[in-house]
Structure 1
Amino acid sequence: MTSTSGQRHAATARLGNTHSTLDNVLVVIGTLLMAATYLWTLFSYRGQQEASSGTVVLPLVAGYMIGAILLVIGNLKRIPLTIIALIPFAAAINIVLGQIVGLSPIPLYMDTVATVLIGYLAGPAAGATTGAVTNLAWGLTINPTTIPFAAGAALIGLLAGYLGRAGVFSSWWRTLMSGVLVGIIAGFVGAPVAAYVYGGGMGVGTGSLVATLQATGQSLFAATTLQAVLSDAIDKGVVFLIVFLLGLGIPQRVKARFSRA
């Protein structure tokens, strides 16, 4: 009994004994900063075509990146040390999948499979942290263009965690519908970054879709938003189904070891 109790304590140990008021404040500030950045960009520069304009790019990148960092810092004490140890591996999986799909003509992303899996197993805080860490690490090591998308990645992990708590992964159709809904939300959040910082889709497939939509007379922002919503809805639907299938293969006793943060 002592050994089992010790193992359980080690599995649920956290960086700190309590989640302080300061941590909660950091999470709230980070969330509000990302929301305010999105709304400011949406309503102030919706008709702007100059994607390289510093008046858009600098505040947008800074707001999303700082917000994501605050979200990670504020959530660390919520997450068991065993989960924190898994996050770098989860981020690596996301990065590898994202790089491969990004170089293909497929207008999808597939860079949030591990984020959704961690969110489903370990809760919203762990999911959000995995998403943010993935994009920050990806941007600092391989592809700097992914850094401003850290906010959207964190949101996906956060929503996956709450949906996991709600039990949506218990059936394939609820999983699929939830993934599509998360994708639509993520598409709207990421569209301003793709449009105003990078001039449309970043990947080969997504960029081609944006160009096609613009050829029909759509503005840069409208084309990018439509592409993002369509691609993200399909992408997250597929990602959530993958996590659902992975969950079927994970023994219940293993799932029970993950403390939902």
Structure 2
Amino acid sequence: MAAPEASTGGNLLIRHRIFIGLGAALIIATYLSLVYWRPEGLADATGVPALAALAGNTLGAALLLAGVVHRLPLTTVVLIPSAIAVNIVVGQITSLLGIPLYLDSIGTVLVAALAGPAAGVATGVLGSVVWGLTLAPVAAAFAVVAALIGALAGLLARAGLFRRFYLVPFGGGLTGICAALIAAPIAAFVFGGVTGGGATAVVAALRAVELSLLESTTIQGLLFDPLDKAITFTMVALILAALPLRITQQFTFAAQHTLSTAQ
């Protein structure tokens, strides 16, 4: 009986990896198509480009979840909706304040630190899709950026970043640089630099000194995304330090990689 069981387990593992690969490929393809075709009117939630972006990222998120959910404990599955809510609420408040920061990935980084990169990716992509379907259609186009943030946060947590508090802001800054480089073409080519919040004002100021649109969105991102993610990672580190042991002990990944040995 052992051989058939092993074969079944191997087939399931291959199937899950296929789901993950297809989901990642679909999200990346959606990103590349947006950058290449540069569709107008994406911010109109009823337009074809908006629906295509939502469909591509939603299906990609579903495939990613199908590939990773089997390895996520129930505690993580329960945590993801709350983390998405935190992302959306804090992101909306920050946008209304008009400051050139986002702070819309706190929940994503927290899940990644507690449960690993797969959970971080799922949280980031699902959050973008939900946000895009509800309050801000613009968010759906940035699902690939949210996935990148979740993946990097989880990988950095696995490397022990959150066990060394003094390194946390630097890890956040590195993540911000990567996110800025991926997000800049979307902001420039799809939205014309107008993505809402304080970022739009910064892009407009850079355009006023005769920089190109892509140069303006890239510089804006490199100026503020590292700071944004440094703050986000630091906030998550403080949250982790404040969480009681009875909660953190439920996350095997966190116990192995994230929490300090003193805790």
Q: TM-score, normalised by structure 2?
A: 0.80
Q: Which residue of 1 aligns with 2:153?
A: 160
Compare 251-260 and 225-234 and name the one that shifted more: 251-260
Give me the whole-angstrom Cα distance separating, in 1, the residues matched to 2:117 and 2:198.
Answer: 30
Q: Residue by residue, what CA displacement relative to the aligned partner does 1:186-245 show, whole Å, maximum 9, x if unpaired? A: 111112221122111412200000111111111111111221222211100100011111
- C-alpha change, 1:94 and 1:40, in structure 2 (3 Å) is closer
Aligned to 1:141: 134
| 2:68 corresponds to | 75
Q: 1 CA distance for matches of 2:66 and 2:193?
A: 31
1:195 match: secondary structure = helix
Aligned-pair Cα RMSD in Å: 2.8
Are positions 1:197 and 2:190 aligned together? yes
Distance 1:228 1:65 in 2: 25
One of 197, 217, 231 as aligned partner of 1:224: 217
Cα deviation for residue 176 of structure 1 reads 0.7
Tell which deviates more after alignment, 25-34 or 208-217: 25-34
Q: Identify which of 172, 178, 181 aligns with 1:185.
A: 178
Q: How many residues align?
A: 241
What does residue 120 of structure 2 align with? 127
TM superposition shift of 1:34: 4.1
Instruction: Give the gaps of 5 or more residues in structure 1.
Output: 1-16
Structure-2 separation of matches of 1:214 and 1:68: 35
CA distance in structure 2 between the partners assigned to 1:225 and 1:39 by the alignment: 17
Q: Tell me which of 95, 98, 101 is aligned to 1:108.
A: 101
Unaligned runs of 5+ in 2: 1-8, 255-263
Per mean C-alpha deviation after superposition, the further-off stretch among 247-256 and 198-207 is 247-256
Once the two structures are TM-superposed, the CA of residue 38 in structure 1 deviates from its matched residue by: 5.1
Deviations 1:19-41 (A, max 9, x none): 53122112223334444565677
Q: Which residue of 2 aligns with 1:10?
A: none
Aligned AA for 2:95? G
Query: Aligned residue for 1:172?
Result: 165
CA–CA distance in structure 2, aligned partners of residues 240 and 207 of structure 1: 24
Instruction: State percent identity of aligned pairs.
Output: 43
Distance (whole Å) between structure 2 residues aligned to residue 25 and residue 188 of structure 1: 28
TM-score norm. by structure 1 comes to 0.81
Q: Which residue, out of 66, 78, 91, partners 1:85?
A: 78
Residue 110 of structure 1 and its aligned partner are, at CA, apart by 0.4
Find the aligned partners of 2:201 and 2:55 in 1 and give their Cα distance: 27
What's the counterpart of residue 215 of structure 1?
208
Paired residues of 2:54 and 2:129 also in contact (CA < 8 A): no
Query: Following the alignment from structure 1 to structure 2, what is the Cα–Cα distance between the partners of residues 60 and 72?
Result: 18
Equivalents in 2 of 1:124, 1:235: separation in Å? Answer: 20
SS in 2 for 1:257: coil
What is the CA–CA distance in structure 1 between the aligned matches of 2:211 and 2:53, rounded to whole Å?
Answer: 23
Q: Structure 1 pair 59/134, CA: closer, same or farther in 2 (3 Å)?
A: closer
